[in-house]
Amino acid sequence: MEQIKNPILRGMYPDPSICEAGGKYYLITSTFTYAPGIPIFESEDLQNWTQIGNVLETSKQLDLMDLEVSSGIFAATIRYHKEKFYVITTNAGRGGNFYVTATDPKGPWSEPVFLEHASGIDPSLFFAGECCYYVGQRFEADAKYYGDCEIWVQKLDLSNGTLVEEPHVLWDGAAKNVVWPEGPHLYKKDDYYYLMIAEGGTAHEHSVNIARSKELYGPYESCKNNPLLTHKHLGLNYPLQYIGHADLVEDTDGSWFAVMLGTRMYKGKSSMGRETFMVPVIWEEDWPVFCAGEGKIPVLPETLCGMGIVKKINWTNPLPLCCVMLRSVLDSSIRNVLDGSLYLKLGTQKLEGEKTPSYIGIRVAEHQFSLRVPMTFLPEEGEEAGLVYYYNGDNFIRFIILKQNNIIIASIIKKEKSVETCIFKEEADQYRGNVILELQTEKHSMNCIFNGRILEESIDIAQLTTQGAGGFVGCTMGVYGYTDKENSTNYAVFGPMTVIYP
């Protein structure tokens, strides 16, 4: 393989898991309270990835209402066994750990099977012959501090979706007094079972660690070269941070690779959140070695910027696979596509709530971008529509057209750490119902542009990040409409979204 072009998935694609099936590779990531849940990508060469579907789409699969944005669907694992795909994950706010299955990775996926007595987060599955094992994480029985966890395994009866026989504790991590040993994956290679985990929490101290045993239930020997990969020793100013939560795959030529999450930083913050990276793996003395000869993921010019990519999101029914909504998928009564335009019915749910607003977004994929959208909208009193740059319900920007005291107004409203501030407000006396709205960012600074005119420039968006606001997600951006009237039938009409990553 040529040099890997990292990140292989740009934007909020954290906690990756990967498997091979029929000479192709399939990769999934976590989605928290975004819907649809768990995008699934396909590749024939491990370099070029195409989204082919979403694992969780229905209300039974995806129960996220009343959850804050960094809750919901945590890390998932994908495995392929006897012509069937399995995805197991955690709904952190609704029911805990469950799995779904499909014979076609594009779907449809089955209804969820929730597991009883399966505490913890970030589960995995391991197949050995006719047996399936649940690999989990949980707090130790005598936990001495928050994050004092252990990895355990128990046989899973797939015929009825129940854990059977006795659970076995395998490992509690490589580092002394480690926090959050999690994201376990179990593999069998030659004479050994290998247990790979994340440690240190999913921020600067994140790392990849591994142990092995000749018996499934242990005892497990920690690798003396742990961590296999981390960037915590490179300092807070290194542009690539948070490396951890890895999964291994062997390609059809017998070469090995690992996918993991990481974050591209600018001055200690990232709008994109945690993204998916890949590194080569070799084996020495029956241990995996990540990034042999380097010990870190190389930071190349193309790693840090989009290198002139122009992306056009054309509206379709169903919506393009890259589109996301909050907590549930908006049905056809709320959004429709006619002649290439999106008709978005104004919703009564606000962005700061924990329901489903009329918002359709895409992931922010670079520190620098321009998002441009034509909009047709005639608001009534108490109605608004436009563009949104969204981190969570307490941190976002609305660039909108609204009607106030019978006057059409262009407004920019910033909410930061729950405090809402109107940073621009102007009567749109030339507005006749049509406008081109544009968000333009340069690192942690944003311009809002109305028909080619900058209304407000250099808006500080540095706090609209995990590092500024807490949580686990990255930013999204997209189109939005709101009304304070329950019986409103008004729509905002949006043309294609054009995103430029210079």
Catalytic residue set = 15, 182
What does the DSSP 8-state code read for residue 368?
S
- Bridge partners (DSSP) of residue 51 are 41
Taking the C-alpha atoms of residue 275 and residue 474, their distance in angstroms, rounded to an integer, is: 9
Of 63, 41, 43, the closest CA to residue 53 belongs to 41
What does the DSSP 8-state code read for residue 9?
B
Rg (CA), the chain: 23
- Give the contacts of 370 (CB within 8 A, at least 6 positions apart): 438, 439, 440, 441, 498, 499, 500, 502
Could you give the strand order of the β-sheet that contains 17-21, starting from the edge strand earlier in sequence?
17-21, 24-28, 37-43, 50-56
The amino acid occupying position 115 is L
What does the DSSP 8-state code read for residue 234?
G
Q: φ, ψ for residue 233 (rounded to 5)?
A: -85, -5
Q: Three-class SS of residue 263?
A: strand
**Which helix (H) or strand (E) element contains residue 210?**
strand 207-213
Q: For residue 69, what are the CA distances in angstroms to 352, 451, 483?
A: 10, 32, 22
Half-sphere exposure in the Cβ direction for 486 (13 Å, CA): 0
DSSP symbols for 84-153: EEEEEEEETTTTEEEEEEESSTTSPPPPPEEPTT--SSS-EEEEETTEEEEEEEEE-TT--STT-EEEEE
- Give the contacts of 254 (CB within 8 A, at least 6 positions apart): none
Taking the C-alpha atoms of residue 381 and residue 460, their distance in angstroms, rounded to an integer, is: 30
Q: Three-class SS of residue 74?
A: coil
Structure tokens at 425: 């407000």
**Which helix (H) or strand (E) element contains residue 303?**
helix 301-304
Taking the C-alpha atoms of residue 257 and residue 246, their distance in angstroms, rounded to an integer, is: 10
Quote the Cα angle for 193-198-203, to 5°: 170
Structure tokens at 102: 């499909």
Taking the C-alpha atoms of residue 489 and residue 378, their distance in angstroms, rounded to an integer, is: 12
Buried b (16+ CB within 10 A) or exposed e, 16-28: bbbbebeebbbbb
Q: Three-class SS of residue 219?
A: coil
Taking the C-alpha atoms of residue 131 and residue 129, their distance in angstroms, rounded to an integer, is: 6
Residue 41 in contact with residue 51, Cβ under 8 Å?
Answer: yes
